[in-house]
Amino acid sequence: MNYYLGIDSGGTMLKACLFDRQGRQVALYRENTRVICEQPGWVERDVEQYWQEACRAIKGVISQSGIDPVQIKGLSISAQGKGLYLLDRNGNALRNGILSSDSRAIDIVRQWQCEGIPERIYPLTLQTLWTGHPVSILRWIKVHEPDVYNRTGAILMSHDYLRYRMTGRVQAEITNMSESNFFNAVDKKYDPELLKIFEIEESGSALPELIYPTDLSGNITEEAAEKTGLVAGTPVYGGLFDVVSTAVCSGINSDETSLNFVMGTWSVTSGITTDSDPGGDERFVYGQYAIPGEYIVHEASPTSASNYEWFTPYLGENGAFNHRENEALVAALPPLDADILFVPFLYGSNAGLGLKASLYGVQAHHTKGHLIQAIWKGILFCHYVHLQKMLRRFPRIKRLRVSGGSAQSLTWMQMLADMTGLTLEIPLLEETGAMGAALVSMIGAGEYPDFGRALAALGTEVKVIHPNPELYSDYQSQFSRYERYIRCLQQFENMV
């Protein structure tokens, strides 16, 4: 029997998952990844510690599975996008890695906005500009850490760094790098003109070779084999931006009749298309998809379930946190019983730079259940902001495919269906990030010719949730109230 290893590296958790060639999950090992927040807006990780965490996860899943690692015929990584990981010219890490949720470059991005830079770059990159993009962080480093900038030999993102530690090869995977603002979406290559616009033209020589998801990146080195428990020579394939990975596993395709909703650290709504011409004045984000010739279009912000998880120490008794109990409290309430407004901007905003999270309307009669219902509803409203824009790009949408840990909460999912008025389809697949990465290695190794036939062979079941049309107008009314509150916060932020 052949086995394939998929690694899913998120903001605070790294998972190693082993699958057989039929896509059956054999073993799963989770490893917390430490995040360093030493200054306001800074979100970093110690890259050596990150590599050790990955090694422990791989060793753990092999041990848990009980299989001979010689049976593992390939591995790949699905990882959080953007951020920045720098190597010097000798291949050593220059500093801590910086995650996409980092906002240290906010003043630089504001200045770029004032100078009209987003409008200049969009026809080239098909990307917006924000603080977590590699170009924003790299410009900050040039200004504030010039010694680091001048010694930069390679510009990577998180899965590029892990793959480098496994294989010794410096490469950048295209589904992630295509959304970096280094990449020209028309020419499908790095663009020196973009580097000039961002005033980081010296960094051009540090941009690595581009590889596609199913390309063979290299093989596990002797050193990596010793640390991970894998066999030296095991093939390592390119990998995926995690947004692409979940879209692949959701089963959406370029017929433009379905969207993928991801409820994880980030609120993400994605669609697949063969047409990269956005048309009109709206700027949609287009990235290279796992299938050549197709594009992933998505709206995203760090406004999803991580905002619920932040409340973990405060929602349990004596520090305990039980999601099932929390869900039962919400399920016992009438829909929309909590008139509290929660703005899920703990890690960033989708309504303007600098806006902060808040709870409005809390009174003495509100219970713990009301607070949880309000938190869930506020997160759904942020998702809905993205969905409204995506529906203008994909007007023929009939259903939503929902991924992420929150999709296991039927009460929360019913709220989503009732709010959007759309039928939900929830793939009964626990680990979409790791599964997407494993699919990459299966295709790279020749088990399947392409993603479509691989997914058809694996045959993932789907749970369907239908909306209650009687609640739609009530949700729309509360969403309008949420929008008015956001406008007040924007005015307040401008006054401060």
Q: What is the mean pLDDT of residues 123-135?
A: 93
Please determine, looking at this structure, whether the domain spanning 243-427+466-496 carries the CATH number 3.40.50.150.
Answer: no
CATH fold label, 3-238: Nucleotidyltransferase; domain 5 (3.30.420)
CA-to-CA distance for 177 and 162, rounded, in angstroms?
15
Q: What is residue 438's predicted lDDT score, i.e. its pLDDT?
A: 96
Domains of the chain by residue range? 3-238, 243-427+466-496
Per-residue exposure over 267-292, b if at least 16 CB sit within 10 Å of its own CB, e if not:
bbbbbbbeebebeeeebbbbbbbbbe
Q: Is 72 helix (H, G, I), strand (E, B) or coil?
A: strand
pLDDT greater than 90 at residue 212: yes
Q: What is the mean pLDDT of residues 416-445?
A: 93
pLDDT greater than 90 at residue 453: no
Are 475 and 338 a contacting pair, CB within 8 Å? no
Q: What is residue 496's predicted lDDT score, i.e. its pLDDT?
A: 60
Are 444 and 235 a contacting pair, CB within 8 Å? yes
Q: What is the dihedral of CA 300, 214, 171, 187, to 10 degrees?
A: -70
Q: Give the residue among 239, 260, 269 at the shortest CA–CA distance from 175.
A: 239
pLDDT greater than 80 at residue 265: no
Q: What is the mean pLDDT of residues 469-495?
A: 93
pLDDT greater than 70 at residue 280: no
Q: What is the dihedral of CA 155, 157, 163, 167, to 10 degrees?
A: 0
Identify the bridge partners of residue 224 per DSSP, sorted by sequence position: none
Answer whether 3-238 and 243-427+466-496 agree in fold.
yes
44: pLDDT confidence band, cut at 50, 70 and 90? very high
pLDDT greater than 50 at residue 319: no
CA-to-CA distance for 270 and 243, rounded, in angstroms?
8
pLDDT greater than 70 at residue 218: yes
317: pLDDT confidence band, cut at 50, 70 and 90? low
pLDDT digits 0-9 by tens, 283-305: 899 999 999 889 999 998 889 98
pLDDT digits 0-9 by tens, 328-374: 999 999 999 989 999 999 988 888 878 899 999 999 999 999 999 99
Q: Which tokens belong to 465? A: 């949730």
Residues in contact with 324: Cβ distance below 8 Å, sequence separation at least 6, in sequence order: none
pLDDT greater than 70 at residue 129: yes
Q: What is residue 459's predicted lDDT score, i.e. its pLDDT?
A: 77
431: pLDDT confidence band, cut at 50, 70 and 90? confident
pTM, two decimals, is: 0.88
